[in-house]
Amino acid sequence: MKHTLILTTALVVVAAGAQAQDKQVDLLSWGGAYGNSHVEAYAKPFEAKTGIKVNVADADNPATPIKAQVEAGNVTTDVASVEYADAVRLCDEGLLEEIDASILLPAGDGTAAADDFIPGAVTDCFVGTDVYSMVLAYDDTKFTDAKPAGPADFFDMAKFPGKRTMRKGAKFNLEFALMADGVAPDQVYELLGTPEGVDRAFAKLDTIKKDVIWWEAGAQPPQLLADGEVSMAFAFNGRIFNAAQGEGKPFKIVWDGQIYEMEGWVVPKGAPHPEAAKEFIAFSTAPEQQARAAEFISYGPPRKSAAALVGNVEGTDVPMGPNLPTFADNMKLALGSNLDFWVDHDAELQERFNAWLAAK
Amino acid sequence: MSNPLDPHAAIVTEAAGLDQGGMLRTADGQPLAKALARSSRRARRRAFFLVLPLLAFVLLTFVLPIGQMLMRSVKNDGFSAYMPQLSAWFEANPDVTEPDDAAWAALAADLEASAKDRTIGIVGTRINYEIPGTRSLFTSAGRKARGGIEPPYREAMLDMDEEWGDPKLWGVMRQASDPYTANFYLAAMDRTRDEAGNIVLAPEEQRIYLHLFLRTFWLSLIITGTTFLLGFPIAHLLATLPMRQSNLLMILVLLPFWTSLLVRTTAWMVLLQQQGVVNDVFVWLGLIGDGQRLQMIYNQTGTIIAMTHILLPFMILPLYSVMRTINPSYVRAARSLGATSWTAFRRIYFPQTLPGLGAGALLVFILAVGYYITPALVGGSSGQLISNLIAMHMTQTLNWSMAAALAAMLLGGVLILYWVYDRLVGIDNLKLG
């Protein structure tokens, strides 16, 4: 009896192991509210539908472990969520599998996936899952009469007094400064590619330099706004939305001048379960799933057909749509972050930014 | 074996009565010296095996990775490894400045191969360090090259982008074809090479590292000074109070030491910010108006205050352990011989605390020089240290060679200071307890 028990147990374990071998997806995500949206909108429904187990692990920035795993030849991740810029870089360095775009599901009305995704959302190695953005946010109680309405007001210390907080880095800030200086969004990168444009952006930043507190972690801007240290912030929209919606803070977002970027799936080279990974990517980038994810966190779906499907903020009766960067009204004066530009000029402008910051 | 200088050996030899040909032997007839050597060798080997795990641990987790990291500061084979044919051409033609047909053919072949292997990004990144904006030149050429490049190669390449004909680009590619380079150290000293290859100062708006090195050392000195001023009286109290009180005080010193670094740093943010506790108290007391709240954080002041607090125990503990061993009767003797309390302190007590002070100051200074998280959080723009830039190159720009060069220079600076300390004070005088 005892022997049979041991034998059957062993068999079950072996069988389970064998099944797990080809029927699982190892997903590497970010944790926090964002990682939660992946679990709730993608992993759980996928398991329910296909029976394939999704193991979710978290990393500070999944791009870093991906690089390490592939270079060490010990890949334990099938699908990872990375920022667009990292996807470009990893893909160019040969660390990612190419993703066949034909696996992506068409929209509900039959529109092909290639036309349904916003431009740039699907590349050789990358499929976009969400759009987030850097936005101007302010404390509503600080300004009783006129309210800030665009990038120029962020730099207007006379009309809108109080300190500002901006991300400590060149990216986003230089574009924002140029837009505040009156440059149209579609000319920002062209101008920033010239020395005069860079000088102009830094000159604009000079005008508020002494009034800026530089943030490094995404959690800092809402905290600085809440403490009353600053009256305006240039920060990630998701953080501001969470503080305003979840904690009832009087924060308002100005969408004009927003700079948006994408995150999405990549498959590291040598992923252990490539077939299941494909299935997972196709499922999770369908319009319904994209819309569902947007209900958990205020990052917009990169598929046009998903916008209409987004319901209320999870657990409330507030519609999520208008709080997404991709909402039509919010996109009027928006700038798409140009990754090619930043991959080329990141080091150079970052160094100049640091020198500028260190100078008196 | 009979040694006139070692009478003891002679006695042993005589008593054993084993003097055969002047050689001592063990019971089984082997020469004693040999047997002794063998057994001590065995003991040494056993001792070595005991420390072997530690040695392997240190080697694997400390020497190897750090050595490898430092290696990156002089070696970057991002270009030479993935552009082998062109690198070979550069080596074969050391003096030819104008690329010939063979060079263009090598360039085209290498681009094709590395585009297929998807290593073109690595090549572009390497060149981009020297000429910003060229990474996309390589990646876009790679995209086109995947379909194959037709001869004549020169025309085909120039057709893709005129920049391929730029002599500066070729000069940089030649430099990069040698995996060993000093360019990262030059950049870390705000130097760069002009088109003729001469070393010149970088343009003014790009100069930052020397300034930050100086600031790092200067701030670390200030922090060492403030920890001394604050720590010395506390250590003295700890050493002289009765056991019960001094234990309580000790816990007050150690408790913050055991608290998470991030918690302590964040606590300072809460205290020092403009809407923070300290400013609120000042306003309430009427010391300052509501409109003139002091900026005490997100600048150098914040960095100095927070780091002084965090590093204080490293000053107090060595001072305390040395002060506890100082015999109070020396000071009493000085007083009874007519010294004032100041003279007794200056001439008798203070010199005896120097070993502890040296140890504490060195500890605090070296820790401060490499400190990262606190200046990153509370330093704003004027309180940044060189470590923040090393971190930036590690995680943001991914230029690990640059990070390694900066780290190596920091390490070198600390070693020089250590050497100066040894010459001035003497490292033997260091006492940690």
Confidence of residue B117 (pLDDT cuts 50, 70, 90): confident
Q: Are residues B256 and B334 in the same domain?
A: yes
- For residues A293 and A38, the answer to whether their CB atoms sit within 8 Å is yes
Q: How far apart are CA A347 and CA B184, in angstroms?
A: 13
Least trusted range by pLDDT, from A246-255, A256-265, B252-261, B422-431: B422-431
Amino acid symbol at B290 = D
Instruction: Tell me whether B300 touches chain A (CB under 8 Å).
Output: no
Dihedral (CA of A100, A105, A111, A115) sign: negative
B86-114 residue pLDDT tens: 999 999 888 777 888 889 999 999 998 88
Domain ranges of chain A: 23-125+267-326, 132-261+334-358
Q: Are residues B230 and B378 in the same domain?
A: yes
Q: Are residues B353 and B240 in the same domain?
A: yes
Confidence of residue B11 (pLDDT cuts 50, 70, 90): low
Give B133 to chain A, closest Cα distance, Å.
Answer: 5
Q: What are phi and psi for residue A305, nearest 5 degrees?
A: -70, -15
Q: Record the tokens describing residue A189, joined without a space.
A: 């990168």
Q: How far apart are CA A131 and CA A127, in angstroms?
A: 12
- Beta carbons within 10 angstroms of residue B406's beta carbon: 26
Are the beta carbons of A214 and B380 separated by less than 8 Å? yes
- For residues B250 and B258, the answer to whether their CB atoms sit within 8 Å is no
Q: How far apart are CA A203 and CA A195, in angstroms?
A: 12
- Answer whether residue B345 is part of any domain: yes
Amino acid symbol at B328 = P
Q: Report chain B residues whose CB lies below 8 A from the CB of A86.
A: none
Provide the pLDDT for residue A88.
Answer: 85
Provide the pLDDT for residue A15.
Answer: 46
Q: Are residues B130 and B92 in the same domain?
A: yes
- Beta carbons within 10 angstroms of residue A110's beta carbon: 8
Provide the pLDDT for residue A20.
Answer: 44
Of B139, B206, B377, the CB nearest to A355: B206
Q: Helix, strand, or coil here: B112?
A: helix
Confidence of residue B219 (pLDDT cuts 50, 70, 90): very high
Q: Which residue of B has its CA nearest to A89?
A: B121
Instruction: Tell me whether B298 touches chain A (CB under 8 Å).
Output: yes
Chosen for mutation from B130, B135, B268, B293 (greatest number of chain A CBs closer than 10 Å) is B135
Residue B6 has pLDDT above 60, yes or no: no
B19-53 residue pLDDT tens: 555 677 888 888 888 888 999 999 999 999 999 99
- Answer whether residue B204 is part of any domain: no
Instruction: Tell me whether A89 touches chain B (CB under 8 Å).
Output: yes
Q: Record the tokens describing residue B97, joined without a space.
A: 């400045």
ipTM value for the complex: 0.73
Beta bridge partners of A80: A28, A266
- Answer whether residue B46 is part of any domain: yes
Q: What are phi and psi for residue A54, nearest 5 degrees?
A: -110, 115
Q: How far apart are CA B299 and CA A184, in angstroms?
A: 34
Are the beta carbons of B119 and A352 separated by less than 8 Å? no
Closest alpha carbon to B348 in B361, B332, B372: B332
**Is there a common fold for A23-125+267-326 and A132-261+334-358?**
yes
Q: Are residues B222 and B281 in the same domain?
A: yes
In the predicted model, what is the mean pLDDT of chain B?
A: 87
Between B333 and A22, name the one with better pLDDT: B333
Q: What is the pLDDT along chain A (360 residues), one digit of tens a residue?
A: 456 555 555 544 444 444 445 689 999 998 888 888 999 999 999 999 999 999 999 887 888 889 889 988 899 999 999 998 889 888 888 889 999 989 999 988 888 888 899 888 898 899 999 999 999 999 999 998 899 999 999 999 999 999 999 998 899 999 999 999 999 999 999 999 899 999 999 999 999 999 999 988 788 899 999 999 999 999 999 889 989 988 899 999 999 999 999 999 999 999 999 999 999 999 999 999 999 999 998 999 999 889 888 888 888 888 888 999 988 889 889 999 988 888 888 878 988 898 898 876
Compute the CA torsion angle B101, B105, B107, B108 (nearest 10 deg). Answer: 140
Write the DSSP symbol of residue B180: B
Residues in chain B: 433
Q: How far apart are CA B287 and CA B360, in angstroms?
A: 36
Q: How far apart are CA B127 and CA A236, in angstroms?
A: 32
Provide the pLDDT for residue A12.
Answer: 47
Instruction: Tell me whether B139 touches chain A (CB under 8 Å).
Output: yes
B335-368 residue pLDDT tens: 999 999 999 999 999 999 998 998 899 999 999 9
Chosen for mutation from A189, A338, A354 (greatest number of chain B CBs closer than 10 Å) is A354
Instruction: Tell me whether B325 touches chain A (CB under 8 Å).
Output: no
**Which alpha helices (DSSP H) does B24-166 contain, by range?**
32-58, 64-72, 84-92, 101-116, 120-130, 135-145, 153-160
Between A283 and B136, name the one with better pLDDT: A283
Provide the pLDDT for residue A14.
Answer: 45
Beta bridge partners of A133: A260
Q: Which residue of B has its CA nearest to A63?
A: B395
Chosen for mutation from A92, A230, A345 (greatest number of chain B CBs closer than 10 Å) is A92
Of A93, A345, A357, the CB nearest to B132: A345
Q: Record the tokens describing residue B353, joined without a space.
A: 């605390």
Q: Are residues B355 and B287 in the same domain?
A: yes
Q: Report chain B residues whose CB lies below 8 A from the CB of A347.
A: 128-129, 132, 397, 399
Q: Record the tokens describing residue A190, joined without a space.
A: 């062209």
Q: How far apart are CA A267 and CA A125, in angstroms?
A: 7
Q: How far apart are CA B88 and CA B111, in angstroms?
A: 14
Q: How far apart are CA B205 and CA B207, in angstroms?
A: 6
Give B168 to chain A, closest Cα distance, Å.
Answer: 17
Write the DSSP symbol of residue B202: P
Residue B1 has pLDDT above 50, yes or no: no
User: Strand A251-266 to strand A127-139: parallel, antiparallel, or no bridges (unpaired)?
Assistant: antiparallel
Q: How far apart are CA B99 and CA B11, in angstroms?
A: 87
What is the Cα B174 distance to its own chain's centre?
Answer: 31
Of B119, B120, B132, the CB nearest to A348: B132
Instruction: Tell me whether B212 touches chain A (CB under 8 Å).
Output: yes
Q: How far apart are CA A41 and CA A288, in angstroms?
A: 9
Are the beta carbons of A340 and B136 separated by less than 8 Å? yes
Q: Are residues B114 and B237 in the same domain?
A: no
Between B8 and B410, name the one with better pLDDT: B410
Provide the pLDDT for residue B22.
Answer: 66
Dihedral (CA of A103, A104, A109, A112) sign: negative
- Pick among 2.60.120.260, 3.90.1170.50, 3.40.190.10, 3.90.330.10: CATH of A23-125+267-326: 3.40.190.10
Q: Which residues contact B187 (CB under 8 A, 6 or more apart)?
A: B202, B209, B402, B405
Chosen for mutation from B79, B131, B183, B298 (greatest number of chain A CBs closer than 10 Å) is B298
Tell me how far CA of residue A105 lies from CA of A49, A96, B415, in angstroms.
16, 22, 61
Q: Are residues B91 and B57 in the same domain?
A: no
- For residues B344 and B416, the answer to whether their CB atoms sit within 8 Å is no
**What residue has token string 């990153």?**
B376
Q: Helix, strand, or coil here: B395?
A: helix
Confidence of residue B135 (pLDDT cuts 50, 70, 90): confident
Percent of chain B with pLDDT over 70: 94
Instruction: Tell me whether A48 touches chain B (CB under 8 Å).
Output: no
Indicate the class that CATH gives domain A132-261+334-358.
Answer: alpha beta
Confidence of residue B282 (pLDDT cuts 50, 70, 90): very high
Instruction: Tell me whether A351 touches chain B (CB under 8 Å).
Output: yes
A266 membership: H or E segment, kind and range: strand A251-266
- Answer whether residue B292 is part of any domain: yes
- For residues A200 and A178, the answer to whether their CB atoms sit within 8 Å is yes
Asked if omega into A195 is within 30° of 0 (cis), the reply is no
Q: Are residues B241 and B389 in the same domain?
A: yes
**What residue has token string 């403490």?**
A227
Q: How far apart are CA A65 and CA A74, in angstroms?
A: 11
Give A109 to chain B, closest Cα distance, Å.
Answer: 34
Q: Record the tokens describing residue B286, joined without a space.
A: 């009427």
Provide the pLDDT for residue B2.
Answer: 45
Instruction: Tell me whether A355 touches chain B (CB under 8 Å).
Output: yes
Residue B4 has pLDDT above 80, yes or no: no
The count of structural domains within chain B is 3
Q: How far apart are CA B83 and CA B107, in angstroms?
A: 8
Of A229, A343, A358, the CB nearest to B212: A358
**What residue has token string 């600085």?**
A224
Closest alpha carbon to A336 in A208, A192, A186, A139: A186
Q: Are residues B305 and B425 in the same domain?
A: yes
| Rg, C-alpha atoms of chain B | 33
Instruction: Tell me whether A60 touches chain B (CB under 8 Å).
Output: no
Dihedral (CA of A53, A55, A61, A63) sign: negative
User: Which range marks the domain in which residue B167 is found?
Assistant: 84-181
Q: What are phi and psi for residue B20, nearest 5 degrees?
A: -110, 105
Closest alpha carbon to B184 in B161, B164, B209: B209
Q: Report chain B residues whose CB lies below 8 A from the CB of A193.
A: 133
Q: Record the tokens describing residue B24, joined without a space.
A: 């001592």
- For residues B315 and B367, the answer to whether their CB atoms sit within 8 Å is no
- For residues A164 and A230, the answer to whether their CB atoms sit within 8 Å is yes
Q: Which residue of B has its CA nearest to A64?
A: B395
Q: Which of residues 11-40 of A touch B (CB under 8 A)?
A: none
Instruction: Tell me whether B124 touches chain A (CB under 8 Å).
Output: yes
Instruction: Tell me whether B198 touches chain A (CB under 8 Å).
Output: no
Q: Which residue of A has its CA nearest to B383?
A: A358
- Answer whether residue B195 is part of any domain: no
Of A89, A345, A347, the CB nearest to B129: A347
Dihedral (CA of A215, A220, A225, A227) sign: negative
Write the DSSP symbol of residue A255: E
DSSP string, A269-284: TT-S-HHHHHHHHHHH
Give B395 to chain A, closest Cα distance, Å.
Answer: 9
Q: Helix, strand, or coil here: A96?
A: strand
User: Strand A53-58 to strand A164-167: parallel, antiparallel, or no bridges (unpaired)?
Assistant: unpaired
Q: Report chain B residues whose CB lies below 8 A from the CB of A211.
A: none
B358-403 residue pLDDT tens: 889 999 999 999 998 899 888 888 888 999 889 888 877 778 899 9
User: Strand A232-236 to strand A127-139: parallel, antiparallel, or no bridges (unpaired)?
Assistant: antiparallel
Chosen for mutation from B72, B118, B275, B399 (greatest number of chain A CBs closer than 10 Å) is B118
- Beta carbons within 10 angstroms of residue A233's beta carbon: 31
Span B170-199, average pLDDT:
88
Instruction: Tell me whether B382 touches chain A (CB under 8 Å).
Output: yes
Q: Report chain B residues whose CB lies below 8 A from the CB of A64.
A: 395
